Amino acid sequence: MTPEDLRAAVAACVTGLSAVADQDWSRPAAGLEWTCSHTAEHLADDLLYYATSLAARATEQLKVWGKIEEGATNAQVIEVIRATGELFATVADAAPPSARAFHPAGLTDPAGYLATGVGEALLHSHDICATFGVQLDPPADVCRAMLARLMPHVTQGGDPWRVLLWATGRGDLPGQTRVTEWRWRIPAGD
């Protein structure tokens, strides 16, 4: 995974979220107990957390939390997501492949952190967009690379976005059992 993969994922998220920016984000996000607003704030916070952890080469969980100012419009929240995505990509651009940083799922390299950022961005944007019947349209190559890095055990062929949604319990695949539990596998690369 590369910073450009993250930038492409965030661009897809911004496009999808912008299509529903005029909707009521106090509604629960599809498949979650969180509201769309809380889900968007969580997404921005994830991108900020990943950027700061990688920048610090953190060896334990950093005590950082990105809170969006109360009263922010949906369009302003989308801009925060775009900005935190770019911040994370810029930090990753500067990090050597040998860098390692703490993630709750395990110590990882920049590519692993980028993969988690891509996953969080795409999946939580999907959760918000699906609430309003809007389909996210992420790049297939980015989804394929993210699956290869974080879910190498997933061997289903076909549309990688549909496979990612299935592998994270957000969709169905013909002939496959519905996924109810999953986790990232992000050990540091070689």
Give pLDDT tens digits for 13-33.
999 999 999 999 999 999 999
Query: Among the CATH numbers 3.40.1710.10, 3.30.1330.10, 1.20.120.450, 3.30.200.20, which is that of 3-142?
Result: 1.20.120.450
**Average pLDDT of the chain?**
93
Q: State yes or no: pLDDT of 189 exceeds 60.
A: no
Whether residue 48 contacts residue 87, with contact meaning beta carbons closer than 8 Å, is answered with: yes
CA distances to 38, 49, 79, 80, 110 from 174, in Å: 32, 36, 37, 37, 34
At 65 the pLDDT is: 84
At 21 the pLDDT is: 98
At 187 the pLDDT is: 66
Amino acid at 171: G
More confident residue, 106 or 114: 114
What is the arithmetic mean of pLDDT over 107-124? 95
Q: How many CB atoms lie within 10 A of CB 153?
A: 9
Residue 158: exposure state from Cβ atoms within 10 A (0-12, 13-18, ≥19): exposed
- Least confident span in 3-17, 72-86, 102-116, 128-142: 102-116
Q: How far apart are CA 59 and CA 160, in angstroms?
A: 32
pTM, to two decimals: 0.94
Q: State yes or no: pLDDT of 190 exceeds 50.
A: no
**All structural domains of the chain with their residue ranges:** 3-142
